Structure 1
Amino acid sequence: MDNPICFDIEIPARPEYLSLVRSLVVEAAELDTSLSQERVEDFKVAVSEATTNAIEAHARACRDESIQIRCTLTDSRLECHISDRGFGFYPDQVQVLPEPDDPSRLNFDRGLGIYLMRVLSDEVDIQTGPEGTKVSLAIRLSSGNAPSSPAPPERP
């Protein structure tokens, strides 16, 4: 593939559009036959988590604007970029929660989104500020480079 293939969509900041985003990820991933179904499903969850966070950011900011999603397929990777116009957040001020396998984690019904993005993607970049947040997620396409079970990220 000499030129990257890009898919761009804008969705209203409403949860009922998450299925459209998931479908976009699957369609983009299916253009590369080296990805296992499990890997595609994992990445779909990661992108869905980022999009859910963007939808919630718009709700908190009372924004009516669309959320932008771009999926790009190259020879070596599948990337998804999710951009919102919420208030942004300070990653160092995100509440540190117990590990997912810690029984006390059951006391929290939220807070796994960024963790899941990091576990289910090969690369995660979060750029945030008062004008919004852009989350970039990527998985490598070469089956030799993709871990079969990604190791959990180190916690801050």
Structure 2
Amino acid sequence: MSSNARPVGSVEFAVPPMPEYLQFVRAIVGATAALDDRLQPGRVADVRLVVSEAATNAIRAQAAIQVTTPILVRCDLTGDRIVVEVADHGPGFDPSAVPALPEVETPERLRHESGLGVSLMRQLADSAELESGSDGTVVKFTFVVADA
């Protein structure tokens, strides 16, 4: 794609809530994000990591209550941003109760081996929104695409 191109479009798909589908989710969303050649390879890797964390959380949430309804994933290229959504049918949680992580350089960070997904999404994406209730959770994150 030429450097003047502004890809616009979206891909939406559903996957069974099984860890075996995480690589598929990363591959499809990563390939969609990479359609915009203004997005640096490191940022494409960030998109893949964030969608992987969101999908992993969705799979775990649904497994906790034995729900087998597919998880929905959507990736939109809007010209100046990439927006990714992951929606599950889990029991929900209180997003405001997710603690902020200590800085990477501090020894305190070593005490955090799990529960990093939401904090990681918030750090890597330009914006992250979480809506959660008893009927499930929708995680939406945005990466701004800047001209080089």
Aligning the two structures, in what range does the TM-score lie when normalised by the shorter sequence?
0.7 to 0.9
Identity of aligned residues (%): 38
Partner residue in 1 for 2:125: 121
Q: Aligned partners of 1:2, 1:31: CA distance in 2, in Å?
A: 9
Q: Tell me, what secondary structure is at the counterpart of 1:16?
A: helix
> What is the root-mean-square deviation of aligned Cα atoms in Å?
1.9
Ranges in structure 2 where 5+ consecutive residues have no aligned partner: none
Superposed counterparts of 1:71-82, under 5 Å: 71-82=75-86
TM-score between both structures, scaled by the size of structure 1: 0.84
Q: Which amino acid aligns with 1:114?
A: V
Structure-1 residue corresponding to 2:11 = 7
Structure 1 portions without partners, runs of 5+: 145-156
Count of paired positions: 144
Equivalent AA in structure 1 for residue 45 of structure 2: E
Instruction: Indicate how the Cα distance of structure 1 residues 10 and 140 shifts in structure 2: closer, same or farther if over 3 A, else same.
Output: same
* AA of the residue aligned to 1:39: R
| CA–CA separation in structure 1 for the residues paired with 2:108 and 2:146 | 38
Matches of 2:23 and 2:115, distance apart in 1: 21
The two structures have a TM-score, normalised by structure 2, of: 0.88
In the TM superposition, structure 1's runs of 4+ consecutive aligned residues that sit over 6 Å from their partners are none
From 49, 70, 78, the counterpart of 2:74: 70
Counterpart for residue 21 of structure 2: 17
Q: Distance in 1 between matches of 2:6 and 2:108?
A: 50
Which among 7, 25, 30 is matched to residue 26 of structure 1?
Answer: 30
Alignment of 1:70-149 (within 5 A): 70-94=74-98, 98-143=102-147
